[in-house]
Structure 1
Amino acid sequence: MEEIEVPSHFLCPISLQLMRDPVTVSSGITYDRESIERWLFSCKSNTCPVTKQSLSDSTDLIPNHALRRLIQAWCTLNVSHGIERIPTPKQPLDRTQITKLLDQAKKSPQKHPQCLQKLRSIAYLSQRNRKCLEDAGAVEFLASIINKNEASTVEADEALCLLYLLEISEASRKKLASNNIEFVESLMNVLNCGNYQSRAYSVMLMKSILEVANPSQLTGVRAELFNGVVHVLNDKISHQATKAALKLLGEVCPWGRNRIKAVEAGAVSALVELLLETVERRYSELILVVLDQLCRCAEGRAELLKHGAGLAVVSKKILRVSHVGTDRAVRILSGISRFSGSPRVVQEMLQVGVVSKLCLVLQVETSGKTKERTNEMLKLHSRVWKNSACIPPHLLSSYPN
């Protein structure tokens, strides 16, 4: 087949593919709608890819009808070469359409299921549609459905799914965290009482909201949140939900008495069990980061020591995960040896291989602070550890004097 040369002005500057729905941005450059929307919304950029000029309104995409007709005419002329004619694109979603749909649903609660179904189909089409839904007030509408006790489980679950799907902006998340305490309470109720799917969406939404919350809100987190998060960890609902739960704990534990609340909810035992099972680097790092936070209080250290595999699994992760993982594991063990180093604990650290692992740390390349903590531990308990038969002879040479 004869090769057809496509006119350069028919191609999208981003993808170099034939434009199907050409639109012009405020910088004057024309792009294919799908490509420029992916650039603006998925890549979260507000500049023109060609001119690098800041775009005043990322949603103001003006259809270039003249160019579209030229492309369609060119396709028709070259149909014998296997070129398909590009259909006339549908009119993009307008904010007023969504506003009208939401207003109707607000006035007639019986229309909620139908409205939620339409919102879902709209949201799945494109990132632009999801942004348009947020701008039209869909976030507040969905939050109100979740807040209402009389809402059916099906409706609340659908609203949760949609709210997560929207990938709402930081501004909307801050608004929910600051002005909608009822919504945060509702998420906590779902975390503790919902089905697997709704709990997964709830923990992921809660994580994204607390990431932008102010310190006073983080300090005042209720114990129910930690109970729900620990249940998510124990039930292993999904990788996504587990990762969100770990990040959420990492976000809130440094504030106020949250460490103790998390420990009382059973977080330490849940984290040790996860650490025993996981081989994935990122999961191990997240777990060790949270364990390090919890072991900075006496209650957390006591719970780690209470678990039969606590010391052993933390020690096992040293030099097997990453520099971050090694650093956090050494910090956990350092806190144990300094503040909870009873004769029984010191002996257990020797028996489960902690001391051998610490000697090995001194032989390999690790951060200065990690080696410093390791040295301090080995010197602190040298009377018990240094001459023990539990330490392999080739590692004894590393033992600090």
Structure 2
Amino acid sequence: MEESTTESTAANADTLKVELKKLLTEILSNGGGETESDGSSGVLKAIDEAIRLLNRLREVESKKPESDIPSSSSSESPKVEVPKEFKCILSNAIMIDPVTIASGNTFEKRYITEYLKHEDKCPKSEEVLSHSLCTPNHLLDEVITKWCLANGHDRPKPADEVVTELSNDGIESLLQRISSPSSDEDQIQAAKEIRCQTHKFPNVRNRFVALHPGGITDLIRPLSEGSTIPELEENIITALFNISIVMENVEAIAQTDKVISLLRTSLTCGTMETQRNSALTLLSLLAIAYNKVIIGDISTFTALGELIGRGDPVTSLVAGAVVYHLCQESEYREAAISARVVNALMRKIKAERYAAQFLSVLVLLTTHERGVKEMKESREFMRHLFRILRKQSCLESCENAVVIVLNMCNLATPYGRLGVVNLEENDYATFSTLTKERSSESLVKNAEMVLQWLKVHGTGKKQKR
């Protein structure tokens, strides 16, 4: 009878472990976004269920025979093993600041941030990441916190957790130190603190404009007066970006004197983070359509084109996103082409990282005759574009590439019959092959339109079928 009870207890423990592992896997795969939506009750239920299973497992384990329980020479309880789902595979330690990356997997922030500076693949799934941004996994963080409390596990705290939210007077004091500093060091420190406050505390950034009239002017004053201290510029531009992500602040920021010109200047100087956050701020300001008028001039496109060309992968991607949003309206495309954005995009596409995203920007610019002409003049790029279509390694890249070819065909008359397209079909049956790709209706449709164009305007060579 005792043996039967022991076996039942062991089986019970195994069942609980399976259920717990399944629940933790579901929580991990859901990421850690905001929990203010209608799904918040489900999130809380998942956390409570995980804790219930952990406590139940401890209760069952305590009923095992003493021979099954690790012995201890002291009166201390045996050390509880940290579930592997709570450990970062990069540090092999319990996560204290879990973040989720583009693949949906979660890692310790400090380790994955450093890893992504050098790699573009997920260290767990090895899939190529569409971007290198990290999102706090609040759900997993709460589950780990509750598990640690329930099991007496001493979990380290993030190094910056001691920061506390400042009052309105505290923010005003920082703005005063920035706009009328006692020293460069004090000005830099004040800008760093306001950057931290606007990043960590929603109340500070959400009500910044409403509670601090003239606060944007005070924040950017050092830059408008010509300061070129890199650290100061980075802190100010980053704080401005933090404030700009709140829709209620966008109009006031865009209408503040010198903001747009300073952001444009910061696209081309300072640290790479300064340049990236300048582009991100412009992207935020484009949430209001009429801001395109004050942002979308040729000097902005010139700075963005240069940033696409020389920036790190994420910074180039953000700069490309700004061009994409501006050029949704055709009136801005000629300015982008004049600023040589097409050439910058072609170089990035040939480098192959984030090619699909850069191709989507090029789709817009090749609806303009000058955009087609610039692209067609690069034989090396045309060969690369056709290789993308032949390889079909990325469906999104293929879809964008065939639209670009179709744009070229539709605008081909002033620049010849584009025999290069005809030769590609003759030599490789590229577009005939694409018409058999049933996973994308738009790809098939556009490939068929290219073939129809070749039928009407081809060079006379027999096409392969």
Question: Aligning the two structures, in what range does the TM-score lie when normalised by the shorter sequence?
Answer: 0.5 to 0.7
Instruction: Specify the code of the residue in structure 1 equivalent to 2:300.
Output: L
Matched, 1:45 2:36: yes
Q: Aligned residue for 1:312?
A: 383
Q: Secondary structure at 2:201's aligned position in 1?
A: helix
Q: Secondary structure at 2:435's aligned position in 1?
A: helix
The answer to whether the 8 A contact 1:192-1:227 is kept is no
**Residue of structure 1 aligned with 2:238, choices 145, 161, 171:** 161
Deviations 1:108-156 (A, max 9, x none): 3335742542553575489643642553558626642365223343322
Change (3 A) 1:195 1:126: closer
Matched, 1:347 2:419: yes
Alpha-carbon distance in 1 for matches of 2:409, 2:259: 43
Q: Aligned residue for 1:287?
A: 358
Per the TM alignment, residue 289 of structure 1 is displaced from its structure 2 partner at its CA by: 1.0
Change (3 A) 1:238 1:213: same
**Residue of structure 1 aligned with 2:431, choices 358, 382, 396:** 358
Alpha-carbon distance in 1 for matches of 2:334, 2:388: 25
Instruction: Specify the code of the residue in structure 2 equivalent to 1:357.
Output: T
Task: Map 1:256-335; keep pairs closer than 5 Å.
Answer: 256-278=330-352, 280=353, 283-318=354-389, 320-335=392-407
TM-score (norm 2): 0.58
The answer to whether the 8 A contact 1:226-1:265 is kept is yes
Q: Aligned residue for 2:298?
A: 223
Task: Map 1:151-230; keep pairs closer than 5 Å.
Answer: 151-154=227-230, 155-164=232-241, 168-177=245-254, 179-210=255-286, 212-215=287-290, 217-218=292-293, 221-230=296-305
Q: CA RMSD in A?
A: 3.9
TM-score (norm 1): 0.66
Q: Secondary structure at 2:418's aligned position in 1?
A: helix
The answer to whether the 8 A contact 1:233-1:242 is kept is yes
Alpha-carbon distance in 1 for matches of 2:385, 2:251: 36
Q: Secondary structure at 1:200's aligned position in 2?
A: helix
**Residue of structure 2 aligned with 1:371, choices 444, 447, 450:** 444
Change (3 A) 1:322 1:135: same
Alpha-carbon distance in 1 for matches of 2:242, 2:452: 53
Where does structure 1 lack aligned partners over 5 or more consecutive residues? 1-37, 54-78
Deviations 1:161-216 (A, max 9, x none): 33345673222234312x22520111112224445443232222222222x12246
Aligned residues: 321
Alpha-carbon distance in 2 for matches of 1:310, 1:336: 14
Instruction: Specify the code of the residue in structure 2 equivalent to 1:307.
Output: S
Q: Secondary structure at 2:328's aligned position in 1?
A: coil
Change (3 A) 1:141 1:110: farther
Q: Aligned residue for 2:325?
A: 251
Range 193-202 or range 106-115, more displaced = 106-115
Alpha-carbon distance in 1 for matches of 2:378, 2:386: 14
Alpha-carbon distance in 2 for matches of 1:364, 1:216: 41
Change (3 A) 1:264 1:194: farther
The answer to whether the 8 A contact 1:143-1:159 is kept is yes
Change (3 A) 1:271 1:345: farther
Q: Aligned residue for 1:337?
A: 409
Where does structure 2 lack aligned partners over 5 or more consecutive residues? 1-30, 45-74, 80-151, 156-160
The answer to whether the 8 A contact 1:311-1:352 is kept is no
Instruction: Specify the code of the residue in structure 2 equivalent to 1:151.
Output: S
Change (3 A) 1:183 1:122: closer
